[in-house]
A and B are shown apart, each in its own frame.
Chain A
Amino acid sequence: MRIDVRGEVCPYPMLKAVEAMKKLKGGDEIVVITDHAPCLETIPPQAIRYGYDCEIDQTGSPEWTIKLRPKVLAR
């Protein structure tokens, strides 16, 4: 699942990522695309909470993709 939250500011990128993690319940990978640096700090702790691994790639300046992988799938 792809969530494009470019243009959105805190707390919406994090809220939308959490919403997706809750909905998918670890069934699928989530890719968050953002240009809001603060959510690089707010999304990872939530990923841990919902059982996801988190990988951040800088894809532009400023633009990042945050890959959220369910821990269950990775095993």
Chain B
Amino acid sequence: MSVSDPRLPYLWVFGMAAGFTLQRSRFCFASGFRDLYLFGSGRIMKGILVGVAVATLGFAVIMRNAVPFPSFGALPPEAHVLPVGVTTILGGLLFGVGMVLAGGCISGSLFRSAEGYVGSWVAIAGAIIGLGAMSQTWNWWWSLALAAEPKLWLPALFNLGYGGAVLLTLACVFVAYLLVVWWEARTGVVPVKSTPDPRPEVTFTQRLMATARRIFVKGWSPVVGGAVLGGLNILMYSVHMPWGLTGELSRWANSLMTSVGAEPPVALGLSAIGGCAARASEATGFFSHTFAVTVGLLAGALVAALFANEFKLRFPRTARRYFQSLAGGLLMGYGAGLAIGCTIGAFFSSIASLSVSGWLFGAALFAGALLGTKVIQRIA
């Protein structure tokens, strides 16, 4: 990849747009899972599910163009079809606990970092250390479990084909959505309608200003955010690869360790895995695709925060919170390394890739987030 790579400007634009959308809709996967337990709110989880459904439709078209006959055994290049097994579950558990402890997953901590949350900087630093620890221990996990874990891709299973796999995925998303609504009804959480803007909206200029305020100042609803993120994920995949963040962070960890003489061993099996792990082994640099979507996210979120006047350096008030963010980050990093992706790469992009791994990782995230919620309720 070089400066002249024609795909690079697109990925910068999509990466920045994703950061902008995350900040505007306050799209936080950690709270999506945690708030279901903590106070029975499925607001953000509904947005996540809508995003997954949108991305699934687009991904299927892209994958179908690459691999028209899924039953022949070839997987579409770049699709996030990841190993299914004990590493998926363990990775999801660690990540689920970590994201609740840190108060944000990888994408959440990145956009919060850009908003000036110092605690999120600590969480990202922790995640980079965790990913580095995984690079050092990857080969152990590989021979223990990863090498034997199958990559289950729905279109190639039970003669489902693309049509069957998409229908099955959408049906599962729909059932999950119904479960969230049922859960909300059970817990009795009441959605609060936002108060209408008192400023008049009659003339052309007033209407234009009101629209601008809706986009740049007021928060978007999570469902809108999820749908936009689903669309952006499709665009990223149409240019090169599905959305993922931990590949770039792994590369930072690896080059940091190399620079201090603690180069991680050559990771076994990466070329056969794909997803964020495959990215981790590539050379890093300003002109890489993962750099564009990861750092682009920070830039987009910063722009959004500045427009909305929501940028501020915010320091955690107690030493305990710094430890909490660091520990959460470490768990997230190691878990994401093991599961080969975070809530974006191993969940969002993986379910949309019609991969079984995304669902299993999601289920493990649920369990991990429940554990994490129990923990934070004890830390005042």
Question: Which A residues fall within an 8 A CB radius of B?
Answer: 6-11, 14-15, 18, 35-38, 40-42, 44-46, 48-49, 54, 61-62
Contact = CB atoms under 8 A, between A and B. Distances in A.
Interface string B317-360: 10001000000000000000000000000000000000000000
Contact of B191 (A35, A37, A45): A45
Q: How large is the interface on B (under 10, 10 to 19, 20 to 34, 35 or more residues)?
A: 20 to 34
A41 B43 contact: yes
Contact of B309 (A7, A8, A62): A62
Interface string B25-56: 01010010011001101010000000000000
A9 B192 contact: no
A62 B312 contact: yes
Interface string B179-197: 0000000001111100000
B193 to A, nearest CB: 10
8 contacts: A9-B314, A10-B31, A14-B38, A18-B39, A40-B219, A48-B190, A49-B189, A62-B308
Contact of B188 (A18, A36, A49): A49
B192 A44 contact: yes
B119 A11 contact: no
Nearest to A56: B195
A60 B192 CA distance: 23
A18 B38 CA distance: 11
B310 A45 contact: no
Contact of B28 (A10, A18, A62): A10
Nearest to A37: B310
B312 A11 contact: no
A11 B376 contact: yes
A9 B26 contact: no
B112 interface: yes
B164 interface: no
